[in-house]
Chains A and B, each alone.
Chain A
Amino acid sequence: MSLPGPETLELKTSEDVVRARQRVRVCMKDQGFGLVDQTKMVTATSELARNAVDYGLGGTMRIESLEEMGRIGIRLVFLDHGPGIPDIDLALTDGYTSGHGLGLGLGGSKRLVNEFEIWSKPDEGTRVTITRWR
């Protein structure tokens, strides 16, 4: 199977969040993921894309299809240049919220994917990388 090349989507408005999850849904479907896997990844996309729009002052999402050692996967990188997260461990705790959310965005998304990686620096921005394998 040929892998589609990586692509990058803008995240500025809440309509962009909808577009991001629709794009991820199509990619997951194309790579043959089941319905539950699709839904989990799309939901994680929604949480992280919203974070980038609401707290990161807008950003981007990069979608990449992977094939490693016979495994098929999708990797998403959410990047913003917002204020950053001062305490990542605290931000990953369920119930913690800096804004109007339920505080499930980061910790919840982590549970929906196979690999989760976060980098953040105050005043520089935040980068969250998630991967789901089939």
Chain B
Amino acid sequence: MEKIPILKLGEILLVSIQVDMHDRLAITLQDDLTARIVKDRARGVLIDISSLEMVDSFIGRMLGNIAAMSQALGAQTVVVGMRPAVAITIVELGLSMQNVRTALNVERGIEMLQRAVEESEEDTTHEPSGT
């Protein structure tokens, strides 16, 4: 069965969507990613959509779901590389994607994730000690 590959880079899982996804493939990716976050104890997920020529409400919802689920599993998600035409269309479509963090490209996305991971680490080390 066709799958979208998930790469591990330290604490970050990297997904680059290179194909025009049909709905089942998108759902498979969502399932695989949540499973991998738990298995690899990932702290961040980076989804590169710079190859995607369109994002409809289904794919948009999938991206939102991944962000929400990873959050629940203790990982941050950043979506990177959305093309201008795709962004304009999503806005017109009425998809807000409010809960999804975005960055211009993979480099900036990784920076963003590393900062987020560091911040959340500070939080977790301070909280239990109560100092």
Contacts and interface: CB of A to CB of B under 8 A. Distances in A.
Tell whether any CB of A sits under 8 Å from a CB of B in the complex: yes
Interface of A: 13-15, 17-18, 21-22, 25, 35-36, 38-40, 42-43, 46-47, 50, 94, 101-102, 104-105, 107-109, 111-112
B95 A108 contact: yes
Interface in B57-73: 57-58, 60-61
B89 A43 contact: yes
B53 A108 contact: no
B117 interface: no
Nearest to A104: B57
The SS class assigned to the B binding surface is: helix
Interface stretch (B19-27, B42-50, B108-116): B19-27
Given A18-B20, A47-B56, A38 B85 contact: yes
Most buried by A among B20, B60, B84: B20
Given A36-B88, A43-B56, A46-B56, A111 B24 contact: no
A4 B94 CA distance: 33
A39 B22 contact: no
B23 A17 contact: yes
B86 interface: yes
A43 B54 contact: yes
B9 interface: no
B7 interface: no
Given A21-B20, A46-B54, A111 B86 contact: no
B89 to A, nearest CB: 5
Given A43-B93, A111-B92, A102 B60 contact: yes
A133 to B, nearest CB: 16
Given A39-B85, A104-B94, 15 more contacts: A14-B22, A22-B20, A35-B85, A39-B53, A39-B88, A42-B53, A43-B54, A46-B56, A47-B57, A50-B23, A104-B57, A105-B57, A108-B94, A111-B93, A112-B92
A3 to B, nearest CB: 24
Nearest to A13: B22
B66 to A, nearest CB: 15
A104 B93 contact: yes
Most buried by A among B23, B89, B95: B89
